[in-house]
Amino acid sequence: MIWWKRKKANGPGSADAPVVVPLGADVTHVYAIGDVHGMKGLATRAEAAIAADPSFSPEHSVILYMGDLIDRGPDTAFLLDWLAIRSKTGARRMFLRGNHEAMMQAYLDDPTAHENWLDFGGLETLNSYGILERPDKLRKMRDRDIRALLDTTISQSHRTMLADMVDAVEGEDFFFAHAGVVPDRPLSAQTKADLLWSRDRFMAHESGFEKTIVHGHTPVETPVYALDRVSIDTGAYMTGRLTVAKISIQEKTVDFVVVTEARD
């Protein structure tokens, strides 16, 4: 069920215009989940922690994945399947596009021109779909052969899921974007690249923003809420720690839950 209306910034039809959607007036809590990077077990534990929270309400809460669901970790294909099923029931879920989703989409559209994705976690994603070829062999394959391989292994439903992701979610006091924003530029003027790739200038900015910016993309040792910035990428695929930020829209509070991998 589509329950928001899409709007574009930077002019209609602009190639770099991001898809920014409103949060929704009936939302009381947002549970923002940091960069999962193919760690399905951690995503499962994060959703279990959310479901157990007394403030959680399927009618008035949103589970918001902050981008970079894919790559690096081992379970991208299984994770997308699991989320597709869960999205049909219960809680409302929204999915931000991360730079890794953008790279995967570019590779699927033109694998020869975007083969560098393989070096940024794309190989692990292809492995999760059962494509176990070495990177050098994939690079040497003819364009039509690699396209045929991708068409037979990566389902249309997963491609649609990637295409339907949005670039930012905007509330009255909070702005959710995978990488953050470019400082000293109005939120309404941010480009798609700004929202997917910002890092150094954004993280170094100490003068505040129009709204509190909730983001992932740049790994931090522990989640941070300071200087109008909520940083929740705790490097799940490297550290085994995935952060959930519980945001009360009305009270304007932020609390963190960090889930870890199960131990034998």
pLDDT at residue number 7: 36
pLDDT at residue number 60: 96
Q: What is the chain's Cα-based Rg?
A: 18
Q: DSSP secondary-structure letter at 90?
A: S
pLDDT at residue number 177: 98
Give the strand pairing for 61-65 and 92-95: parallel
pLDDT at residue number 234: 98
Distance CA 264, CA 261 (A): 10
Taking CA atoms, 189 is separated from 17, 18, 136, in Å, by 9, 10, 40
Instruction: Show the domains of the chain with their CATH numbers.
Output: 28-98+164-260 (3.60.21.10)
pLDDT at residue number 89: 81
Cβ within 8 Å of residue 95, ≥6 positions away:
64, 65, 67, 69, 83, 161, 164, 165, 166
pLDDT at residue number 35: 98
Q: DSSP secondary-structure letter at 115?
A: G
Of the candidates 264, 255, 250, which has an alpha carbon nearest to the alpha carbon of residue 26? Answer: 250
Per-residue model confidence as pLDDT tens for the chain (264 residues) = 222 333 334 444 456 799 999 999 999 999 999 999 999 999 999 999 999 999 999 999 999 999 999 999 999 999 999 999 999 888 899 999 999 999 999 999 999 999 999 999 999 999 999 999 999 999 999 999 999 999 999 999 999 999 999 999 999 999 999 999 999 899 999 999 999 999 999 999 999 999 999 999 999 999 999 999 999 999 999 999 999 999 999 999 999 999 998 764
Contact by Cβ (8 Å): 65, 93: yes
Judged by DSSP in three states, 46 sits in helix
Contact by Cβ (8 Å): 139, 59: no
Helices (H), the chain: 40-51, 76-86, 99-109, 122-128, 135-140, 143-153, 156-163, 192-197, 200-204, 236-239
Cβ within 8 Å of residue 131, ≥6 positions away:
138, 149, 150, 153
pLDDT at residue number 263: 60
Which residue type is seen at 209?
F
pLDDT at residue number 91: 87
pLDDT at residue number 264: 46
Contact by Cβ (8 Å): 213, 201: no
pLDDT at residue number 3: 28
